[in-house]
Amino acid sequence: MKNLIAKKINRLLTSKNSMKIFHFFHYLLGGFNSKKIEVSFEDKKSRLEIIQNIINRKKYQSYLEIGTFKDELFGSVNCNYKIGVDPVSGGNVRKTSDDFFSTNNEKFDLIFIDGLHHYEQVKKDIINSINALNEKGIILMHDCLPRDYYYQAVPRSQYDWNGDTWKAFLEFRVDENVDSYCCYADQGIGIIIKRKNRNKLNIVSKNFKKFNFNTFASNYREYLNLINYDELIQIIDKHE
């Protein structure tokens, strides 16, 4: 029953009429004055290629995916032991990420976060993933590089959408105790490693949820600690 209700709510919120209303709402809030980030992911590595290469290079044995949708990614990842968590579809654990982490006692080598793309939930998923990560493990997260205001606006107002995942990622960029990067690939792949921050972002914000998108768009390379795929592989290979 809970899954059925969740599906119906999701259909309502992502219907054409609902998104038209949200689009107008976001236009008034700042979309009319939005800066654009000129990015293209057409010739970049996919999240599957990145994840599988890391698993193979590091000989990782366990993989956790938060938000599996229709198993486009989870069904293709090759790893000895894998858990996919989603309250609606895909994966092999039918729970919200909060419910899963509340009873989870396992540790994982690689965790991929791609659940609800709202700042508050992404922040919780990052914290819980850090606690569920093996010492030599790595966290990856999807959708850290939105192209304009509408791509990141919550509630969702268009089909191509990243949510405000970037705000949660930025909050951990200022954390002394985690090292973070964003790979310029597949909508922006965030990387979080449990070690001292090697390139701490020096900004102060009392509320990252309200962080201004245009400020982010003007400084996104520095704010995200943006790297290319080859640089990512160098970081991964050196991580022990």
- Rounded mean pLDDT, 97-126: 98
Q: Which of 44, 48, 43 is nearest to 63 (CA)?
A: 48
Of 3.40.1190.20, 3.40.50.300, 3.20.10.10, 3.40.50.150, the CATH number of 2-238 is 3.40.50.150
How far apart, in whole angstroms, are the C-alpha atoms of residue 48 and residue 76? Answer: 8
How far apart, in whole angstroms, are the C-alpha atoms of residue 48 and residue 2? Answer: 30
Q: What is the pLDDT of residues 194-235, one digit of tens each?
A: 999 999 999 989 899 999 999 999 999 999 999 999 999 999
Return the domain boundaries, the chain. Answer: 2-238
Q: Which of 60, 106, 111 is nearest to 240 (CA)?
A: 60
Model pTM?
Answer: 0.93
Scan for tokens 């965790």, then name that residue. Answer: 111
How far apart, in whole angstroms, are the C-alpha atoms of residue 221 and residue 111? Answer: 24
How far apart, in whole angstroms, are the C-alpha atoms of residue 199 and residue 211? Answer: 20
Q: Phi and psi for 30 in degrees, rounded to 5?
A: 165, -10
Please indicate whether residue 76 or residue 18 has the higher confidence score (pLDDT).
76
> Which strands sit side by side in the sheet containing 226-227, from one edge to the other?
81-85, 62-66, 108-113, 133-141, 189-193, 179-183, 226-227
Please indicate whether residue 2 or residue 19 has the higher confidence score (pLDDT).
19
Q: Which residues contact 112 (CB under 8 A, 6 or more apart)?
A: 47, 51, 63, 64, 65, 66, 73, 139, 140, 141, 142
Please name the amino acid found at residue 112.
F
Q: What is the pLDDT of residues 15-63, one digit of tens each?
A: 778 888 998 878 887 888 899 999 999 999 999 999 999 999 999 999 9
